[in-house]
Structure 1
Amino acid sequence: MPLAVNDFTWEETEKEVFITVPLKGVKSNKVDILSTEEYLKVSYPPYLFECFLRAPVDDVAGTAQVGNGAVFFRLPKKEPGFWSKLHSDIHGDKEAMKQKREEAIKTSQEREQKKEQEKTEKKRADSKYALQETMKFEEAERKRIEDEKEFERKKATEELEKWKEEQRRLAEEEKKKLLEEKLAAEAAREQKRMEEMEQRKKTKKRGKKNDIFEEAAEGVPKREVGKIEIKFTPRVFPTPVRESQTPQEEEWLRKQVEARRVQDVDEELTEEERNPMFLRDKGNSFFQSGNYLAAVNAFSHAIRLAPKMHSLYSNRAACHLKLKNFIKCVEDCSRALALLDPPVPQNADSRCKAYVRRGTAYCELELYVEGLKDYEDALKIDPNNEALRADADRIRQVIQGSSES
């Protein structure tokens, strides 16, 4: 049973009421205060101060301060005037006091719920505003990146067009030079033939008898003696016969020959533009200089000419990796690996690079399990590569950390 506090003091003016409740040595952090328009309660066990006010007050505008061993209330009156006494007439009526107390508790709970709801609404509004600002920033950043990409794309296209124009000019000059050389050679041959015919006429006049074959061939230029050199391609597979993968190696050679066979292309393209090897070297040059978009364009043009050359897909995948086009990198690596079949020692290095690039792209996409599998496949090809092994261990640690959390 709490001890009622009766040694409180109070004062009033026409507009305000001031109440002082002593805390009797209790620490301020253990004080519980409830205040409504017609009810006050200060609980600090084992003491309890309870007051049913004579008239309503503005408890929202009122204040309650805890300090110096007491609780100080300043409560504005809703209607000006003097009360002459603090307690309501229901003081002592248990049923009325109980009802008033329950109403005060209900009012206090509703007020707290309202405050909590307002706080939640404010938090939601702040979150919505922050989200809108973030979306605006991301949209601006996305537009900036797209503008930069468009600028780089135009720049790469202009450079490619300039390069094409330069190649056309050089081709025209080369054609002109070859034509001049051909005409000069034909003129020289014609001059030589005329001189030989003149010489034969002079010989006849001297009375010398020509050979029958010479007479039959008179006026016809002799065919020059030529020589044809035949070179045999040495066998490039040093595998011992007992460990030979001859069927796979022959299939791989056949695929390489087929891969270098150029598809039908536009007649207007220059000789260099029809050469996938030249375009591959040009793409590698762009890649080395950091112009990855131009490199992608060069490799893509080469792929249209020779869609079965694995190196074109692998090199374009490296460009996509630099440009953070990770999904396209995965696609190109997968295509390269499909073309690198059957697996033989001669394409081991290319398969290793394709696995590493695809594994890196998977990790950037947070597909760590797929990335680890590709790194492990690369390690099967190059088991002594310590850098690959260290990268695979780091990916394995990331996967383990994710599973533990």
Structure 2
Amino acid sequence: MPIIVRDYTWQQNDSQVYISIPLKGTRAGDSSVLCTEHYLKVSFSPFLFEAFLFAPIDDCKSSAKIGNGIILFTLYKQIPSAWDALTSTNLEKEEMQRIREEAIVRVQEKTKEDKKAKAENKRENEKYSLAVMMKIEEEERKRIEDVKEEERRRATEEMEKWKAQQRKEETRKKAEEEKRKSNTNKTMFPTHPKPSVKEHERNCVQNSKTLKEKVLPDVRATACINITFTPRVFPTAVRESRAAEEEEWLQKQAEARRAINLSDKELADLKEEEKNPEWLKDKGNKLFAAGDYLAAVNALNLAIRLNDKIPALYLNRSACHLKLRNLHKAIEDSSKALELLTPPVPDNAAARVKAHVRRGTAFCELELYVEGLLDYEAALKIDPSNQNVKSDAEKIRQIIQSSCPEVE
């Protein structure tokens, strides 16, 4: 049988009533509150507080806060006036039972209505979100088509100009060749009078002497130059070398550079430079530096469709998503980059630090400070001398230590 609470306190003014009920050493999560116009009930096992109110209240505006070992009610009166007492004392048992049952029925109906309203509101929000996303995607598709059409038109114009220039250049070269041939013919067949036999013999003797006097250079001697390259790619000492992991990393990078994930039809629609993921990555970097983060994401999306094994593409796209506040996508791209940055070798240490820091930043922006701190600590294990990462990790620790959940 529950123990009735008697040591509560209450105060009032013309429009409000304040009731303070001690929790009797129980936790706030174990309390159950029921409030209607004429009835107020608080259960926190094994204690019970029940009040049949002196006058009706507005249960929609009234509120209850639970915390610090106390329950505080703020009740708004329907009719502003001073109450003689908090509860009615002249009610019969049958009347009290009826009020209890009506209160329970009303609360159940209100709960059903609230649940139905929330479900309806959720459906409306989902419809609106879907409509907005479809509109954004349609506008983005149209913008991309316009950009492609403009690029095709520009490329066609440039090709036509180049062809015209080539035709002019060929015409000029033909004219110069014809002029040169004409001058050569004039030189070989001069128009001056034909020399006599004696003059011709003298000229032949002179030409033979000139040819004899000319000394031709010696033929160049052939030689062979031996060049020896070191087989090591990573500058790691032999006693600290992880040759197997390094060779695996190099093999993954080579396979990533050879991978193409688009069909022949899709490749045919792209320009030559657009088929190169490295060119698209550089283009995304330039767009990011210019502040056009959405265009940078589009360039990196195409690069990833061409080759989804290059970790730098996911790492750069995660930075763009951070700028665009697409925090969940930033976490996904950073995680994918870390998945591709295996095995951990000195060559990819800087990239792994960036991936951990960007994923930790996205977690902190979502107020998931514990997960963010784990990523920052992982980055510090890779680069313990990074002062910026140390400072940010300390700030996150202070936020975690100072945060305290508020119960209402």
Closer/same/farther in 2, CA of residues 255 and 183 from structure 1, 3 Å limit: farther
Other-structure match for 2:375: 374
Closer/same/farther in 2, CA of residues 293 and 145 from structure 1, 3 Å limit: farther
Cα distance in 2, alignment partners of residues 72 and 148 from structure 1: 58
Closer/same/farther in 2, CA of residues 120 and 338 from structure 1, 3 Å limit: same
Other-structure match for 1:351: 352
Cα distance in 2, alignment partners of residues 268 and 345 from structure 1: 39
Match of 1:125 among 87, 109, 116: 109
Moved more, 136-145 or 266-275: 136-145
**1:393 Cα deviation from its structure 2 partner:** 1.6
**1:242 Cα deviation from its structure 2 partner:** 6.4
- The alignment status of 1:393 with 2:397, answered yes or no, reads yes
CA contact (8 A) 2:300 2:317 kept: yes
Secondary structure at the counterpart of residue 270 of structure 1: coil
Cα distance in 2, alignment partners of residues 66 and 193 from structure 1: 120
Cα distance in 2, alignment partners of residues 391 and 139 from structure 1: 40
Cα distance in 2, alignment partners of residues 172 and 312 from structure 1: 31
Deviation per CA, 1:211-257, whole angstroms, max 9, x where unpaired? Answer: 9xxxxxxxxxxxxxxxxxxxxx9x99895756886956676566556
Letter in 2 for 1:390: E
Cα distance in 2, alignment partners of residues 135 and 287 from structure 1: 40
Secondary structure at the counterpart of residue 171 of structure 1: helix
**1:161 Cα deviation from its structure 2 partner:** 2.1
Other-structure match for 1:338: 339
Write the mapping of 1:3-402 to structure 2, written as runs, cut at 5 A.
109=93, 111-206=95-190, 239=235, 247=243, 256=253, 259-261=256-258, 263=260, 266-284=267-285, 294-321=295-322, 326-362=327-363, 370-383=371-384, 384=386, 385-394=389-398, 397=401
Deviation per CA, 1:92-147, whole angstroms, max 9, x where unpaired? Answer: xxxxxxxxxxxxxxx95554333222212212222332333334444444444444
**1:153 Cα deviation from its structure 2 partner:** 2.7
**1:299 Cα deviation from its structure 2 partner:** 1.9
Closer/same/farther in 2, CA of residues 169 and 243 from structure 1, 3 Å limit: farther
CA contact (8 A) 1:153 1:293 kept: no
Closer/same/farther in 2, CA of residues 388 and 239 from structure 1, 3 Å limit: farther
Cα distance in 1, alignment partners of residues 376 and 92 from structure 2: 64
Unaligned runs of at least 5 residues, structure 2: 1-82, 191-199, 208-228
Count matched residues: 279
Letter in 2 for 1:125: E
Runs (4+) of structure 1 moved beyond 6 Å? 235-238, 248-251, 288-291, 364-367
**1:303 Cα deviation from its structure 2 partner:** 0.8
Cα distance in 2, alignment partners of residues 243 and 168 from structure 1: 56
CA contact (8 A) 2:380 2:390 kept: no
Closer/same/farther in 2, CA of residues 119 and 185 from structure 1, 3 Å limit: same
Cα distance in 1, alignment partners of residues 168 and 353 from structure 2: 54
Closer/same/farther in 2, CA of residues 239 and 391 from structure 1, 3 Å limit: farther
Cα distance in 2, alignment partners of residues 285 and 138 from structure 1: 40
Closer/same/farther in 2, CA of residues 283 and 66 from structure 1, 3 Å limit: closer
**1:354 Cα deviation from its structure 2 partner:** 1.2
Cα distance in 2, alignment partners of residues 188 and 295 from structure 1: 44
Closer/same/farther in 2, CA of residues 193 and 380 from structure 1, 3 Å limit: same
CA contact (8 A) 2:369 2:396 kept: no
Other-structure match for 1:93: none
Cα distance in 2, alignment partners of residues 195 and 245 from structure 1: 69
Moved more, 167-176 or 342-351: 342-351
Secondary structure at the counterpart of residue 343 of structure 1: coil
Cα distance in 2, alignment partners of residues 157 and 292 from structure 1: 17
Closer/same/farther in 2, CA of residues 336 and 371 from structure 1, 3 Å limit: same
Q: TM-score, normalised by structure 1?
A: 0.53
Cα distance in 1, alignment partners of residues 296 and 317 from structure 2: 7
Secondary structure at the counterpart of residue 266 of structure 1: helix
Cα distance in 2, alignment partners of residues 244 and 362 from structure 1: 35
**1:259 Cα deviation from its structure 2 partner:** 4.0
RMSD: 4.6
**1:292 Cα deviation from its structure 2 partner:** 5.4
CA contact (8 A) 1:362 1:368 kept: yes
**1:177 Cα deviation from its structure 2 partner:** 2.8
Unaligned runs of at least 5 residues, structure 1: 1-64, 74-106, 212-232
Secondary structure at the counterpart of residue 308 of structure 1: coil
